[in-house]
Structure 1
């Protein structure tokens, strides 16, 4: 299981994938409010993220094109092009497109529930 957002490894991941789960949730009603709440909480509590990073000051959303909120707003449609292109290139790859929190909950509580909840053995 992995994310597909990193362009450096996207092609390799796509070649090796058994299934692609596409979380295509409503942006203004679900994604953006969750992202802003999480960003505010992390900044307020100065939560340490990966590699010792912390959320930058909130005003940086206005100036930093890589700020997580700006990145989400400007890049939100790119998967609407990339995933259909992948589907055309790999027609045998199952793509599960989940468009609402309710669909995500149904998927996560379905037959794969125990597999997803249990970490893989290495």
Structure 2
């Protein structure tokens, strides 16, 4: 498993971002997309249809975009994870402190979305706040109940996919340092190599 300051073996082109709900997967995926110049496919938008119903074409859509040469997405949904894992060339694990970082993030995000009635995927909005008490899969309750799952999931993945590099980021400082450090360096090195290959006389 790679640290936040370890060099990346190659420039990543197919990247998945793992972490508990509220850890910042989608935000980080967007930042990776900007630096690595790859498309960001927000997997929630493929999964959720109108009225929060799963879209029947979800797995077909996942199969289609992961067959492309470059992408970044969130490593979630039980049925999609095997395809994502098999086709990714890098997994980034957001393993941030839950009580002091992730939980406040997911609570504040949920409140903001509900109060502002922000439209999410395919016309959906956050449900009433009282569903926290009635819905066992309410996003905040889900984040709390699954907060330790990745401590088992990621090591298991490393055993079944030993060739897949895993970067573990344990604080926001490490996230920021990894973006401007190893990720940016890998992209720059790849770009230099491509220029040399296109111009054999370039030193």
Aligned to 2:62: none
Aligned to 1:18: 89
What SS does the aligned partner of 1:88 have?
Answer: helix
What SS does the aligned partner of 2:176 have?
Answer: helix
Q: Does 1:78 align with 2:124?
A: no
Displacement of 1:78: 1.1
Instruction: Please list, as runs of the form range in 1=range in 2, the aligned pairs for 1:1-122 lying within 5 A after superposition.
Output: 1-113=72-184
TM-score normalized by the length of structure 2 = 0.54
- The total of aligned residue pairs comes to 116
Aligned to 1:119: none
Unmatched tracts of structure 1, length 5 or more: 117-122
Displacement of 1:110: 2.0
Deviations 1:9-67 (A, max 9, x none): 10111111101100000000000001111111111111111111111111111110111
Q: Distance in 2 between matches of 1:114 and 1:84?
A: 26
Unmatched tracts of structure 2, length 5 or more: 1-71, 188-203
TM-score normalized by the length of structure 1 = 0.89
Q: CA RMSD in A?
A: 1.7
- Say which one has the larger Rg: 2
Displacement of 1:112: 2.7
Displacement of 1:71: 0.7
Structure 1 residue runs of 4 or more that deviate by more than 3 Å after TM superposition: 113-116
Q: Distance in 2 between matches of 1:48 and 1:114?
A: 36
Q: Distance in 2 between matches of 1:5 and 1:70?
A: 17
Displacement of 1:115: 8.6
